[in-house]
Amino acid sequence: MMAGLSGLFARLYVGLQVVLPHHGLSRLMYRLARVEWAPLRIPLTWAFIRLTGIRMAEAAEPDWRRYPHLNALFTRALRSDLRPLDLDPDSVLSPVDGTLSQIGAIERGRLIQAKGHDYALGDLLGGGGESGLQFEGGAFATLYLSPKDYHRIHMPLAGDLTEMAHLAGRLYSVNGITAELVPGLFARNERVVCRFQNPAGPLVMVLVGAIFVGGIETVWAGEVTPVSAIGSGAKAKPESEPSHQGPYLERGVEMGRFNLGSTVILLFPPGMVTWDPDLVPGSPVRMGQRIGGLAPSAHS
């Protein structure tokens, strides 16, 4: 009986998302999260901390009253001593604080989304089947950030940015319930695809948007989404337009950030990395911890 009620709730929850105006609600949240008027900002910030369980003691600025608006709290810096990078220069670092949703191999051009569900890599990258050919047989990891998590995104390995593309789409929630019930969720949501070149090979970081995620930023382009960010001065790129003007980013440095929470998907070609065997779906991760390593053949 309880399982039936749980299943009904999940279907209603996802069904409601189908009819909601995703982008309209996210634009509203974008504005609300940047209100500096104290009579609204203070109770809103206090309520958000209480509801989500944000660990303010980990923040570089632990006094929540000193943040000028809610978005500044979302994108807060952490204390410099809290996330040391794994010392092995060949280790692949977790780019975020969050939960490992899925991890494994890319097989027949598809990635696991949730138990019993997969989706096409070409759809995720926005270029059809051929866009992901170099990653066939490679490795992927999907990392979910909840609203309480640290929302800055860091480099898992060093690399030169070779291309960035903004792909328009829906803004479904990316939590576990939605991932189990919405086919091709990550390939349907709005996302920013960032391609890098490391000496050992290429890597891709896909920053996936979600409902109420008021923006995705990168350190080289600034705010990429939302496209219609009111009063933000955002320089958003049209759908799928690539940018080839990229910096070199060291392993572990910040490369972007989310507002609220969302998902990062890492992609590597075959023979480049091996995942640590103790990592399974549901494992908590912290930015800077080792989640895998460069394969010996990647140095040859």
The residues carrying an active-site annotation are: 97, 154, 262
Q: Which residue has the tokens 């640590």?
A: 276
DSSP 43-104: HHHHHHHHHHT--GGGBSS--GGGSSSHHHHHTPPBPTTS-PPPS-TTEEEP-SSEEEEEEE
Q: Which of 263, 75, 73 is nearest to 169 (CA)?
A: 263
Q: What CA–CA distance (Å, rounded) separates 195 from 206?
A: 9
- Other CB atoms within 10 Å distance of the CB of residue 73: 22
Q: Which distant-in-sequence residues (6+ apart) come within 8 Å of 229 by Cβ? A: 30, 215, 223, 236
